[in-house]
């Protein structure tokens, strides 16, 4: 089973979507991207996820992040499903949906044989340079938490400032909305850490964003 690794470029592939042909990752460059797969169109859990992604799309767009969906269903199925969601649920899906196939699913590590023939629920967060920064996998029977994916994008963007984010950031039980300072690598810097930041110890220092 092949799959991209964190820190690697997203695999090159030509795909057909509900918005036309796309060349990945070339067409993704310049913005953050959340590319997520769903097991199948016209299924209850997937429908709730698509509605939730759409409901949160302004939060993603405020972060300079686009959404791209995918499953191994064909484009005509995606189009009909989007129409159904609009007609029955009054939600217009505005992001593209990739018509994948088994080769693409295998290339992205989305086919887990022990979980059946459908793709699992995968999430790839890709940075503006086309680099894979986060990968999440969920089984078919569990819907994703969309606010957590929004939070992950925010945290990745914050980490690019040379800091780390704690658990549950920005609502951590120890440091609140502070960010973590990378640990010192020599004695001089370790001492400076204690003088310049709030610290539990020299290896655990934090500061306001």
Q: Report which DSSP code applies to 13.
A: E
Mean pLDDT of 50-62: 97
Q: For residues 137 and 122, give the distance between their C-alpha atoms in angstroms, rounded to a whole number.
A: 5
Inter-CA distances, 9 with 25, 29, 104, 209, Å: 8, 11, 15, 29
| Tally of domains in the chain | 2
Active-site pick, 46, 65, 199, 205: 46
Last residue of a domain, one of 143, 159, 175: 159
For the domain that residue 121 is a member of, what is the CATH number? 3.40.30.10
CB within 8 Å of 84: residues ≥ 6 apart:
42
Looking at residue 120, its pLDDT comes to 74
Q: For residues 151 and 103, give the distance between their C-alpha atoms in angstroms, rounded to a whole number.
A: 31
Active site residue 46: yes
Given a cut of 60, whether residue 32 has pLDDT beyond it is yes
Q: For residues 120 and 111, give the distance between their C-alpha atoms in angstroms, rounded to a whole number.
A: 6
Q: Report which DSSP code applies to 182.
A: P
Q: Is residue 5 part of a domain?
A: no
Given a cut of 60, whether residue 155 has pLDDT beyond it is yes
**Which tens digits make up the pLDDT trace of 101-144?**
777 877 777 766 666 666 778 899 999 999 999 999 888 889 99
Looking at the structure, do residues 115 and 193 belong to the same domain, yes or no?
Answer: no
Q: For residues 93 and 166, give the distance between their C-alpha atoms in angstroms, rounded to a whole number.
A: 33
Given a cut of 70, whether residue 2 has pLDDT beyond it is no
Looking at the structure, do residues 152 and 166 belong to the same domain, yes or no?
Answer: no
Given a cut of 90, whether residue 81 has pLDDT beyond it is yes
Q: Is residue 206 part of a domain?
A: yes
Give me the chain's average pLDDT, please: 91
Looking at residue 199, its pLDDT comes to 95
Token pair 């940075």 is found at 127
Helix H or strand E encompassing 105? helix 102-107
For the domain that residue 200 is a member of, what is the CATH number? 3.30.1020.10
Looking at the structure, do residues 99 and 167 belong to the same domain, yes or no?
Answer: no
Q: Is residue 189 part of a domain?
A: yes
Q: Which two tokens stand for residue 122?
A: 């995968």
- Reported as a pLDDT band with limits 50, 70 and 90, residue 147 is very high
Q: For the whole model, what pTM was predicted? A: 0.92
Q: Output the CA angle 3-60-79, nearest 5 degrees.
A: 70
Using DSSP's 3-state secondary structure scheme, residue 39 falls into coil
Q: For residues 162 and 148, give the distance between their C-alpha atoms in angstroms, rounded to a whole number.
A: 21
Given a cut of 70, whether residue 6 has pLDDT beyond it is yes
């Amino acid at each position: 089973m092949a799959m991209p690794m964190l820190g690697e470029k997203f695999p090159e592939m030509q795909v057909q979507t509900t918005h036309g042909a796309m060349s990945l990752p070339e067409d993704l460059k310049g913005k953050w991207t959340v590319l997520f797969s769903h097991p199948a169109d016209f299924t209850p859990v997937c429908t709730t996820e698509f509605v939730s992604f759409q409901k949160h799309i302004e939060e993603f767009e405020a972060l300079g992040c686009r959404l791209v969906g995918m499953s191994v269903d064909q484009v005509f199925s995606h189009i009909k499903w989007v129409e159904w969601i609009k007609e029955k649920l009054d939600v217009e899906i505005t992001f593209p949906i990739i018509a994948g196939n088994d080769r693409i699913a295998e290339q992205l590590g989305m086919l887990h044989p022990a979980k059946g023939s459908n793709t699992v629920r995968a999430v790839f967060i890709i940075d503006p340079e086309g680099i894979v920064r986060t990968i999440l996998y969920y089984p078919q029977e569990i819907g994703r938490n969309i606010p957590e994916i929004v939070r992950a994008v925010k945290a990745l963007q914050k980490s690019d400032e040379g800091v780390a984010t704690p658990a549950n950031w920005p609502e951590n039980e120890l440091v609140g909305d502070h960010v973590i300072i990378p640990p010192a690598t020599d004695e001089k810097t370790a001492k400076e850490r204690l003088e310049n930041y709030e610290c539990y110890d020299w290896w655990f220092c934090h500061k306001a964003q």
